[in-house]
Amino acid sequence: MVDQAKLLIRAGNGGNGAISFRREKFIPKGGPDGGDGGKGGSVYIETDPNRNTLDDFAHQQKFEASDGGKGAGKKMSGAKGEDLIIKVPLGTIVTLKPLSTRKIEVENIAVKGMPREQMGRLILKKVPEGYPPESPFDKGEVVIDFDKPGMKLLIAKGGSGGRGNVHFMSARETTPLRAEQGQVGQGFQAELSLKLLADIGLVGLPNAGKSTLLSVLSNARPKVADYEFTTLEPNLGVMKSGENHLVIADFPGLIEGASEGKGLGIKFLKHIERTNVLIHLVAVEDLQGQALKVGDPIRPGLAAPTVWERYQKIRHELKNYGAEIEKKEEIVVLSKIDLVSEEKVKEIVKYFKKKKIDMLPISSGNGRGLEELIFKLSYIH
């Protein structure tokens, strides 16, 4: 999944004004009639709810609107350049950087149909991670969060068309031989970064049952198999509960050290920032006769402490990543309970209860506990 991209965006140049004089039968000196050049096309960025990735920008990084047409005689204006609309998924953060030393004028960025006073809320005043302490505006940069459906922003304004010589006629200059050139359209380098927007995020170690749960709760059909890392990129699904439509994201399995760059997790931890609630899946398996860690002696009957250790590994990675994602509301789920005895399930739930954590046992295979989980999720806003 592509979740970062760099684009070159250029609006169209305005067309040049025309130098022309009216020449008709019986009217040899009809005066100037050069028309104006057409306005260059502008570039917009619009959110598209049908897109989930930035994959479309993997093979195209240059986007240019068309130029305005040249003016002509008989006071004919040049054609207006066609606008260009770049569509991005919800949750895309766009950083605009000027191609020259001139700072970006925020006033040139406008939302179609949105009052100017509301526009200020869309420009991020908070300095994003990785920026120097000064404001992006001090660097001539503008950062915009495309986090709302239907957002359509004018990013690069097309150049105005030049005036034809008809505008320069005066008592002193009855045959003006000058016209204006069209203005150059705005150009920016745009850096796109996607952070998925989801109501619910599924987290857990590899093979914890996240993809299976997503397929049961929603319309998504992710790859499911009995081995680690079957999910290599986030999967999205929509769960319908009454009038609620909740977006669920299944994030690739985290491993110990993911927040430090190990495994697949570091690439997708940033997407968890956008979720409202986390469902933390911890798989229970028949741990009787298994070692607690590789190299440890076999210790029968340690199912509860081992499940607790698995839970703590993910909690540690969430906290270590930063952005306070470990403070999000969390529903702790004990998955795959159909693989062990009822006594073992009760033992684990009781162990977590002593740690002041309520754990919901479920089985995506036989449906046990799913009704209670859906009931809890239905109260998410």
Enumerate the known binding-site residues for Mg(2+): 211, 231
CB atoms within 10 A of CB 326: 17
- Per the annotation, where are the binding residues for GTP? 204-211, 229-233, 335-338, 363-365
**Of 313, 310, 315, 312, nearest in space to 326 by CA:** 315
Distances (CA, A) of 109 to 45, 114, 116: 11, 11, 10
- Per the annotation, where are the binding residues? 204-211, 229-233, 335-338, 363-365
Edge to edge, the sheet with strand 187-194 lists 62-64, 4-10, 187-194, 92-98, 142-146
Tell me if 192 sits within 8 A of 60, measured CB to CB: no
Could you give the count of Cα atoms lying within 13 Å of 205 in the half-sphere of its Cβ? 20
- Residue 169 has which token pair? 């006629």
Q: What is the 3-state secondary structure (H, E, C) of the chain?
A: CCCEEEEEEECCCCCCCCCCECCECCECCCCECCCCCCCCCCEEEEECCCCCCCHHHCCCCEEECCCCCCCECCCECCCCCCCEEEEECCCEEEEEEECCCCCCCHHHCEECCCCHHHHCCCECCCCCCCCCCCCHHHHCCEEEEECCCCCEEEEECCCCCCCCHHHHCCCCCCCCCCCCCCCCCCEEEEEEEECCCCCEEEECCCCCCHHHHHHHHCCCCCCCCCCCCCCCCCEEEEEEECCEEEEEEECCCCCCCHHHCCCCHHHHHHHHCCCCEEEEEEECCCCCCCECCCCCCECCCCHHHHHHHHHHHHHHHHHHHCCCHHHCEEEEEEECHHHCCHHHHHHHHHHHHHCCCCEEECCCCCCCCHHHHHHHHCCCC
